[in-house]
Amino acid sequence: QGFAMTGPLIAVLDYGIGNLHSAHKALVRLGADARLTDDPALIAGAAAVVLPGVGSFGACMTALRVRHLEEPVLDAARSGRPFLGICVGMQMLFSASEESPGVAGLGVVPGVVRWIPGSVKKPQMQWNMVDVGDRSDPLFVGLDRQPWFYFVHSLHGVPDDDGAVTATCEYGSTLNAAFRIGPVAAVQFHPEKSASWGLALLSNFVGDVARGRVGAAVS
């Protein structure tokens, strides 16, 4: 604070649950005019939207709905503006989660968030190497094919369309780690806690927003 932000206006959704500040602070550090907000007008007017999340799928979806933010989030995701879901925010973009049966997700990414299979320790709470399947994806441009990111999760997204997966990691089996449908990107790991790799990814996101990159609206 105390200085004018000259970067693009990015709305970081504040729906009153968990620690949402670290993603906001990382974006500010990269020069974005990032604002933690639950104001539908600001969300509608922002150049891009970030949906972070920690905790359980059901609690996050309930909190989003209590704040009357479901429609503003869906409008943003369908608008063609850059959109980024992080951790449980990524999971919320799916249709449903095995963690919270009966709780509907946002359905932006058709599919189900499923428990990490096998007998490996859950949650995965560690740095892990990510295998980037599509290095042309705007989030991963300029990063190595196998960068390292920090994970804290017990479930992973399984989209109906495998083509939505842009990166995976190995943890007992191959887990999906990043996704894209048009301008909507989502990552299971925490870029804001992933040192230089995470800042590079978020810098790519901010750069795309600043250049006005938009995609076809998600139906």
Give the 3-state secondary structure of residue 86.
strand
Query: What values do phi and psi take at 176, rounded to 5?
Result: -80, 130
Q: How far apart are CA 145 and CA 71, in angstroms?
A: 36
- Specify whether the CB–CB gap between 179 and 108 falls below 8 A: no
- Specify whether the CB–CB gap between 92 and 53 falls below 8 A: yes
Active site residues: 87, 190, 192
Tokens (6 digits) for 17:
């649950």
Q: Say which residues have a Cβ less than 8 Å from residue 4's Cβ, sequence separation at least 6.
A: none
Query: What values do phi and psi take at 154, rounded to 5?
Result: -115, -5
Ramachandran sector of residue 193 (left: φ over 0; alpha: ψ -120 to 50; beta: rest): alpha
- Crossing angle for the helix pair 195-210 and 21-29, to the nearest 10 degrees: 70
Q: How far apart are CA 153 and CA 39, in angstroms?
A: 29
Tokens (6 digits) for 195:
């040192």
Eight-state DSSP code of residue 19: -
